[in-house]
Amino acid sequence: MSGNIFGTVFTVTSFGESHGPAMGCVVCGCPAGVPLSAELLRGELARRRPGGGGPATTRAEADEPEILSGVFEGRTLGTPIAIIVRNTSARSADYEELKDLYRPGHADWVWEAKYGFRDYRGGGRSSGRETLCRVAAGAVAKALLAKYGVSIRAWTQAAAGINAPAPGEAGFDLDEAARNPLCMPHAGTAARALAELENLRASGDSAGGAVSCSVTGLPPGLGEPVFGKLDALLAAAMLSLGAAKGVEFGAGFAAASSRGSVQNDRPVPAANSNAAPLPPGVPALGYISNNAGGVLGGISTGMPLEFTVAFKPVPSISMKQQTADRSGAVRELAVKGRHDICVCPRAVPVVEAMAALVLADLLLRNRSSRLD
């Protein structure tokens, strides 16, 4: 299925089911010499790992990565990099009653409509567990980007209807996002959101939220007009996540009620506005404001790349709901199993990973855009 392959030069093939023997990925196109180890992968996967407390599922998985190929003596070989993570804590019996039922808000019915058959154990390929494949591949992409001085940081901007301070606002502390289980950049906001999520857990419900991301050190010039624009590719990457329902860059939807005189990002000379040397004759520029989120004409400006992804509430809830079975009869269902109450904290490393995959691919593609 081509839908399981991502990228053009730096490519990723994702494989595995939530309740199968293992999940994994194959990364192709990564240049040789990039530092990579199981320890590096382990650190990224630990941020996404289930069983971490807070609003996360209680499914306890070690998520121990195994690098099967493409790495020697701690560096990439330039050959395909195969990574697997064994599933060790699946409880398929929790899903037995779903064999003939379609869960509300899930891909059960549409998957069966497309293929005529589905893996009902935890959603199979449509399970959120598939995102570990993206995080593993994203760790490789991050290692490549690091050699170019590119850094990616994401955080939970909102959860359960409670918004954290945004960058530039009083109280915003990105270091705090690494200290609380919601990955929110403000301790007080995180505490209030966690309390609300616990109330929802007790009632059998769930909540949505938003994850914001900032990329710094990105050189100007990344993006492939007209159908491979940087923001278009990032939006497609983010909306490939199962619970993602919207993406905005910079000012986003607020720009719809603004004016050009306010929104326009004006270029000004800047001696150190980018992380990578520019070709001869290309001026180094900075921008007054960053309403476009670091992208103009689908090409990076050298300013921080800023975007936010909206995530819907987790559809697997223990509250009783009406649904339909294979015969079309109305049935009552309370979803069993172990599920997140809000996906945002565990989506933070996934958003970073997908951004890294897009940027690593565009960085390599950009090497062929001019001769000098």
Q: What is the percentage of the chain residues whose pLDDT exceeds 90? A: 67
CA distance 174 to 158: 14
Assign 62 a pLDDT band (cuts: 50, 70, 90): confident
Give the pTM.
0.93
Whole-angstrom distance, CA of residue 50 vs CA of residue 23: 14
Lowest-confidence region among 24-33, 51-60, 66-75, 189-198: 51-60
The stretch 218-224 carries a mean pLDDT of: 94
With bands split at pLDDT 50, 70 and 90, how would you rate the model's confidence at 220? very high
User: Who wins on pLDDT, 134 or 20?
Assistant: 134
Q: Which amino acid, one-letter code, is at 103?
A: R
Pairing of strands 299-300, 305-311: unpaired
Q: Is 62 helix (H, G, I), strand (E, B) or coil?
A: coil
Classify 48 in phi/psi space as left (phi over 0), alpha (psi -120 to 50) or beta. alpha
CATH code at 2-366? 3.60.150.10
Lowest mean pLDDT among 129-133, 185-189, 242-246, 270-274: 270-274
| Helical ranges in 21-101 per DSSP H | 38-48
Return the beta strands (E) in 173-314 as ranges. Answer: 209-216, 244-249, 266-269, 285-288, 295-296, 299-300, 305-311
Q: Which helix (H) or strand (E) holds 140?
A: helix 131-146
Task: Say yes or no to pLDDT of 1 above 60.
Answer: no
Residue 278's pLDDT is 67
Q: For the chain, percent helix, then strand, then coil, each to nearest 5?
A: 30, 25, 45
Query: Is there a contact between 143 and 361 (Cβ–Cβ < 8 Å)?
Result: no
Residue 81: strand pairing partners: 27
- Round to whole Å and give the CA distance between 222 and 365: 9
Q: Tens digit of pLDDT for each residue in 14-33?
A: 999 888 899 999 999 999 99
Q: What is the pLDDT of residues 307-346, one digit of tens each?
A: 999 999 998 888 898 988 888 888 888 877 667 899 999 9
pLDDT band at 89; cut points 50, 70, 90: confident
What lies within 8 Å, CB to CB, of 367 at 6+ separation is none
